[in-house]
Structure 1
Amino acid sequence: MSSFLGSLDVRNSGVHLMRSQGNSFLLRITFSENVEKAFCLTQSVLELFFSLCSVCPVDQFIELICDNETTRWHIRFWNCNGTVAKACGNGTRCAAHLLYRLGYCGAKMTFHGPVGLLNTSIEMGMPFCDEGDKKVQNLFQDVSVHQGKGRGISLKFAEKNFSKKEWEYFKQNDSYIGGVDVGNFHLIIIGKEDPFLYVRFYHEQFKKNLSTYRENFFNISYVRYKTSGNADISTWERGVGPTLACGSAACAALVALRKIYPISQVRLYFPGGPISVFYCEKKGYEHKASSVYERCVCGGGVVR
């Protein structure tokens, strides 16, 4: 692990550990005049790491690169098995929190991601909290991530990406099935079963020994809607497996729920913690939850 971090730690960079709703992330900050070349270098280092190690210590690795010419911030995501992710809501939340904490941005931030712009906003709170007779920096921050308007995906297209037995499992007990694209593909199943047990059984029966991941693989979430805008949810994430939480899945769940219920917001309870999702006609979908700064594990960065 130390050699892996050392290979990523170059001049003007730092690697930081952060968490959001049970998910853990390593985030690397650097500056470059050639953003794509920098990302390719990181990709080669990660490929070497995953060729030597079968277990990653975190759920996802995220790289943040500031273009020296445009001062734009670019973001890329890698899953814990080495595959590239198109988007990650909780990872984006942590990225905004980190840059704000280090003084690189204000409360509002725009990232240039693989599938377009990712806009975030930080709920302005107290930067310090009392701990006995001294003040210490607050490590928690509420961050909203704007996921866009999303779009529906035809079930015929979705079905082609699953085996016949998988699809039969999804359709049992008169469950509602919806396909949603919010930067990455999601299959949302709405029913009355326990979401955690549903996803765990799916993983054990169909995906436990899967070693390859197709480009169009879907994240799968099971939602059990309750009352007063609350729902339980659990997600199987491409390249990860059963995950404690997923920001983009939260938005996709509200897209699907709105096909059945007259709601514009919902509080979704993942195994790792709750995520609140809101919809407005002008901006589309956004999800809000807390991010936690753990520590700088390698390199530097002046803390705000």
Structure 2
Amino acid sequence: MNSENKNIQEFYKMNGAGNTFLFHDSRNNTINMNQDLVLNLGSYFKEYSFDQFIQLMKPKRNGDGHIKFWNADGTESGMCGNALRCVGHIILEETKKEKIILETIDKDIECWRNDNEISVNIGKPKLDWSEIPLSRKVDDTLSINLDPSPIELPNFTAINVGNPHAVFFFNKNRPELEEVGSIIENHEIFAEKVNVSFAKISHENHIQVNVWERGTGITKACGSAACAIAVAAHKLNLAGRKVLVSFSGGDLKIVWKEDNDIVMTGPYEIEEAVEINLMEL
């Protein structure tokens, strides 16, 4: 990196199960990230349309690094499970520790190697309507009727695993999520919008999913969605506590432990480094 010119910054392209990220290590080279800069970077990388922007900063508590997540539309997010694995790999390589702690805005997340993949413990899910959050009281968040609905849909399960999710299970063919994802994301029942998953049990403890991410749209995978889906499937007696969640970009292994912590294991890929002159954006 050109240390003499602070306008020239090094970014990394990376992905987890096809979920794409643009990453900046801001621990010793801070940049002023904001919505406009995320949008400008998205325009700059037209051929590499990243799903989220990931910023690694010095720890604010007692962890090994603090992570901020930005959606493609420039809004901030509280969680991105696939990005945690990618950043986890970087810090595990640096520190040579067996386990590290990754800080998010409201969680301290354990991360460790699992053969050739990375595992993260994202903590306990929230199922109370006020913690998801929904815009009105709902007694049973496992089965909610979306009203009004853009198409005929089954009841959904609402869960927060660091960000809000709506999980719809289908017995037969799933409708085209791309056609209704934005409408569901912005539905009035979701106080902070929502990530949307259309899921189908394909085999015992194997779930196939199409996902629409809040602030981004259709993506090839979503780690937090996989965690929410695993919890919903078990609570609805559709699966056990250990499931394989398959997206178009790859598979994630989810274990919902007896102590209610969720452990996600999956691949990571650091693709390449690129230098950008921020004054040219």
- Give the TM-score of the pair, scaled to structure 2: 0.78
Which residue in the other structure is 2:124 paired with? 149
Pair 1:252–1:73, CA change in 2 (3 A): same
Which residue in the other structure is 1:287 paired with? 264
Pair 1:170–1:179, CA change in 2 (3 A): farther
1:50 aligns with 2:57: no
Counterpart amino acid of 1:190?
A: F
Pair 1:31–1:200, CA change in 2 (3 A): closer
The Cα shift of 1:73 comes to 1.0
Counterpart amino acid of 1:236?
A: W
Distance, in Å, in 2 between the alignment partners of 1:289 and 1:234 is 17
Distance, in Å, in 2 between the alignment partners of 1:69 and 1:116 is 10
Which residue in the other structure is 1:169 paired with? 149
1:243 aligns with 2:219: yes
The Cα shift of 1:169 comes to 3.3
Aligned partner of 1:181 among 144, 160, 185: 160
Moved over 6 A (4+): 68-71
The Cα shift of 1:171 comes to 8.4
1:78 aligns with 2:67: no
Distance, in Å, in 2 between the alignment partners of 1:243 and 1:290 is 16
Which residue in the other structure is 2:198 paired with? 222
Percentage of pairs with the same residue: 24
1:198 aligns with 2:173: no
The Cα RMSD (Å) is: 3.4
Distance, in Å, in 2 between the alignment partners of 1:58 and 1:172 is 31
Question: Which structure 2 residue ranges, 5 or more long, are not aligned?
Answer: 138-144, 277-281
Asked if the contact 2:184/2:196 (under 8 Å) is kept, the reply is no
Question: Which structure 1 residue ranges, 5 or more long, are not aligned?
Answer: 125-140, 300-304
Question: What pairs with 1:53-68 in structure 2 (closer than 5 Å)?
Answer: 54=43, 57-67=49-59
Name the SS of the counterpart of 1:257 in structure 2. Answer: helix
Which residue in the other structure is 1:27 paired with? 23
The Cα shift of 1:222 comes to 1.3
Distance, in Å, in 1 between the alignment partners of 2:8 and 2:161 is 30
Structure with bigger gyration radius: 1
- Give the TM-score of the pair, scaled to structure 1: 0.73
Counterpart amino acid of 1:219?
A: N
Asked if the contact 1:151/1:181 (under 8 Å) is kept, the reply is yes
1:276 aligns with 2:268: no
Pair 1:52–1:61, CA change in 2 (3 A): closer
Counterpart amino acid of 1:284?
A: D
